[in-house]
Chains A and B, each alone.
Chain A
Amino acid sequence: MTEIKIASALAEQMAAPDAPEEHRVIVRYKQDLTIAGRPLTGPSPYHFVLIPAAATRATSEQIRRLALNPAVERIWPDLPVHTCLDASAAHIRAPLVWEAGFTGRGVPVAVVDTGIDPSHPDFAGRIMGMEDFTGEGPRDNHGHGTHVAGIVAGAGTKYKGIAPEAHIYTAKVLHSDGSGYMSEVMAGLEWAVQQHVKVINLSLGGLGPCDGSDALSTTCDAAVDRGVMVCVAAGNYGPGPSSIGPPGCARKALTVGACSNDDVIAIFSARGPTSDGRVKPDVLMPGVDIVSCRAQGAGMGTPVDALYTRSSGTSMATPHVAGVAALLLEAFPDLSPGQIKERLMNTAKDLGLEANTQGEGRADAYQAYLGEPHAPPLPPPGAPGCLVSVLQLLMAGR
Chain B
Amino acid sequence: MGKIEAAFHKRLKECPDQTVRLLVRVTGDISQATTRLTELGATVLRSFTLTDTVAVTCSGSTAAALLQEPWVQAIEEDRQVFTQSNGAENQGSSQGGKHDRNQDRVCTG
Contact = CB atoms under 8 A, between A and B. Distances in A.
A369 interface: no
B82 A214 contact: no
Nearest to A180: B81
Interface string A209-232: 000011110110011001000000
A8 B69 CA distance: 75
Nearest to A240: B94
A215 B51 contact: yes
Contact of B84 (A183, A189, A218, A314): A314
Interface residues of B, number: 37
Contacts of B81: 174, 179-182, 185, 204-206, 216, 246
B91 A237 contact: no
B88 interface: yes
Given A203-B83, A235-B97, A311 B1 contact: no
B105 interface: no
B91 A190 contact: no
A190 B51 CA distance: 10
Interface centre among B50, B83, B89, B100 (most CB of A within 10 A): B83
Interface residues of A, number: 57
Contacts of B55: 181, 183, 186
Interface string B82-109: 1111111111111111111001000000
A114 interface: yes
A395 B96 CA distance: 42
Interface centre among B82, B87, B91, B94 (most CB of A within 10 A): B82
A300 interface: yes
B76 A178 contact: no
A185 B49 CA distance: 14
B85 A179 contact: no
Contacts of A182: 23, 78-81
Interface of B: 1, 21, 23, 25, 45-46, 48-51, 53, 55, 76, 78-100, 103
20 contacts: A174-B82, A179-B83, A180-B80, A181-B78, A181-B81, A183-B45, A183-B46, A186-B50, A186-B55, A187-B46, A204-B84, A206-B79, A206-B82, A207-B100, A215-B25, A268-B86, A268-B93, A311-B87, A312-B86, A312-B90
Interface of A: 113-114, 142, 144, 147, 174, 178-183, 185-187, 189-190, 193, 203-207, 213-216, 218-219, 222-223, 226, 233, 235-239, 245-246, 266-268, 270, 288-289, 300-302, 310-316, 318
